[in-house]
Chain A
Amino acid sequence: MKVVANLALCQGHARCAAVCPQVFGTDAQFGKVVVLLDPVPAELQEQARLAVHNCPEGALRVSKDSRSFP
C-alpha cells in the first residue's frame, strides 16, 4: 500500500501528521504534507488510512484501493 499526496490541494492542516506521524510529516517552509514511508508498512496501514480520511481537503489517497478515496 502507498499513500499519494496532492500538493495542489494540501493546505497544510497537518491533520495527517497528527494522526499518523510515522507516515506523514510536514515540510519546514510551507508546512505541506511529506510522505515519509513508501510503501506504508503493514503495521501502519490502518493508521495511515485514518490519516487520509481526516484530511479535510481530500488531498490524500491510498493507491490501489479505491475504497479509501473520500
Chain B
Amino acid sequence: MSTPQTQSIPPHVPAHLVVDFDLFEVTPELRDPFDKWQALLDTGAPPIFWTPRNGGHWTFLKYDDIREAYRNHETFSNRHQSIPRTEPWPLLQPNGVDPPEHSKFRNLLVPLFTPAAVSLMQAEVRRRTRMLIDAFADRGECDFVADFSGKLPTGMFIHLMGMDEGRLSEFIALADFFMRVEDPVAKARNVGEIYGVLGEFFRHKEHHLGNDIASLLLRARDTAGSGVTQQEVIDCTFLLFVAGLDTVTSTMNFIWRHLAAVPATRREIAGYLEQPDKLSRTLEELFRVYAVSNIYRRVKKDTVYKGIQMKADDMVVLPDNLANRDPAVFDRPAELDLTRKVNPHLTFGLGVHRCLGSHLAKLEVATALQEWLPRIADFRIDTAIPVKIYAGPVMGFRALPLRWDARA
C-alpha cells in the first residue's frame, strides 16, 4: 500500500538519522494531519532526520533549528522548492529567490500588505464575508470549505489582483490541485495550466490597467531601470496565486472545526469580538496551534549543521506545527490557551521571507469570526459525512459539514 517513490540513502546520511516518514501519506486510521507529526515525537525520531521518501529530504523538528533554517538564507535557500523534485519548476518571485535578488519584488509588494494597507481592505473583506454567510445562514447547514473558507481568501485575491470574479471556481480548482498533487508529471502539467491562465490574464490586463496588484507589477515592468521583466511579473503572480489561498482556507477549517467541537471556546470568543487586544491574542494562539504549512528549503552549499553533514541540493522540511509545540519555547504547548501572553510562533515564518500576507490572513480570520459568531452562535459537525484529510506542504481536510438550528 505505502510504497511511494523511494530512493537509496545518500552516502553522507548516517543510518541512525534515517526515519521512514512520508510527508504526504494519509493512512486510513489518521484522523488529524497533525497527529502524524506528533507521532514522530512520540516514537523518538531524531530532531533532525532524513527520510528516503519523496525523493529523500531532511526534516527539522525543533523550534530553534526551524528558526535557524528560516533565518540563515546563506545556507538554506528558497530556490527550487519542490518535493519530490519537479522539473521544470517556476522561479517564484520573490519567495523562490534569495537575497539580494529577492528584494526587487519583495519591496514592490511589501507596501501593499503592511498593517496600514491591509486596514484599508477591511470593508471589502467584511462585505465578502457577509455575502458568503448570507447565502447559507438560514439553511442550517453548509460545507464550510466549499461555501466559505475556500471562497473568502480566493475572492479577496481575485479582487486585489484585478481578475475576473467569474473564474473564481476555476482558480480554486487549479490552486487546490497544485497543493495536493504528488505525481511530478501531473504537477508539471498543472503548473503549465496555471501559467496559461495567468498569461492570458496579463495579455488582457496589459490594455486595462487599474488600481490593482497586476497593474502595479506591469507599471513596475515598464519603469526604466526597475529590472522587472514580463516573465518575473507572471512568476510573482503565480506565487501569490498559490501561496495565500490554500493556507488561509485550511487554517480557518481547523479553527471552525475546533469551535464546532468546543462550545465553551466559541462562547468565550464571541464575548470579545470587538476588543482588539483580546481578539488578537486569541488569533495568535489559534494560528500557533493550527499551523498548517510544512515549508521547504534547499541546502545551498555543502555544509555541516549541528554536526550533521548536508549536501548542496538536499531538501529540508520545516513543520511549523512542531516548532509551535516545542516545550523548550512554549509553556503547556499542547494546550490551546486563548490568554497566552508569550507566543512567538513561527506560523508565518520569519526572516526575509516572512509571510507577506500575514496581516491580510489575520484580518480575514478576525472578520470571519466577527461576522459568523453573532449570526451562527451554535453549530456542530455533521459526523455522518466522512471527511477526507490531506497532508503534504499544506495540511487540512477537503470538507467540513456544519449544522445548526436555523431561525424559523
Contacts and interface: CB of A to CB of B under 8 A. Distances in A.
B343 interface: yes
B110 A30 contact: yes
Given A29-B111, A54-B342, A54-B343, A13 B280 contact: no
B341 A50 contact: yes
B284 interface: yes
Q: Is the interface of B mostly helix, strand, loop or mixed?
A: helix
A53 B340 CA distance: 12
B136 interface: no
A12 B111 CA distance: 11
Interface in B343-369: 343-346, 348, 350-352, 354, 358-359
A57 to B, nearest CB: 5
Given A15-B284, A31-B110, A56 B346 contact: yes
Q: Sort chain B's interface into a size bin.
A: 20 to 34
Given A13-B358, A17-B115, A57 B351 contact: yes
Given A11-B351, A11-B352, A12-B110, A54 B116 contact: no
A30 B111 contact: yes
A56 B345 contact: yes
Interface string A1-33: 000000000011111011100000011111100
Contacts of A27: 114
Contacts of B350: 11, 13, 56-57
Contacts of B277: 18-19
B306 to A, nearest CB: 19
B67 to A, nearest CB: 8
B351 A28 contact: no
A62 interface: no
Contacts of A48: none
Contacts of B280: 18-19
Contact of B114 (A15, A18, A29, A55): A29
B358 to A, nearest CB: 7
Given A14-B115, A18-B280, A53 B344 contact: yes
Interface string A36-70: 00000000000000100111110000000000001
B67, B114, B348, B359, most chain A CB atoms within 10 A:
B114
Interface string B311-349: 000000000000000000000000000000111111010
Nearest to B340: A54
A30 B110 CA distance: 6
A18 B284 CA distance: 10
A27 B117 CA distance: 11
Contact of A14 (B342, B351, B352, B359): B359
Q: Sort chain A's interface into a size bin.
A: 20 to 34
B115 A26 contact: yes
Contacts of A12: 110, 114, 354
A26 B346 contact: no
B354 A28 contact: no
A12 B344 CA distance: 14
Nearest to B352: A11
B114 A28 contact: yes
Contacts of A53: 342, 344
Contacts of B345: 56
Contacts of A50: 341-342
A54 to B, nearest CB: 6
A31 B341 contact: no
A15 B348 CA distance: 11
A37 B344 CA distance: 23
Given A11-B352, A15-B284, A54 B111 contact: no
Interface of A: 11-15, 17-19, 26-31, 50, 53-57, 70
Given A18-B284, A54-B344, 12 more contacts: A11-B351, A11-B354, A12-B354, A19-B277, A19-B280, A26-B115, A30-B110, A31-B110, A31-B115, A50-B341, A53-B344, A56-B350
26 contacts: A11-B354, A13-B358, A15-B284, A15-B344, A19-B277, A19-B280, A26-B114, A27-B114, A28-B114, A28-B116, A29-B111, A29-B114, A30-B111, A30-B114, A31-B110, A31-B111, A31-B114, A31-B115, A50-B341, A50-B342, A53-B342, A54-B284, A54-B342, A54-B343, A56-B67, A57-B351
- Per CB-CB distance, the 3 closest pairs between chain A and chain B, nearest first, are A31-B114, A11-B354, A56-B344
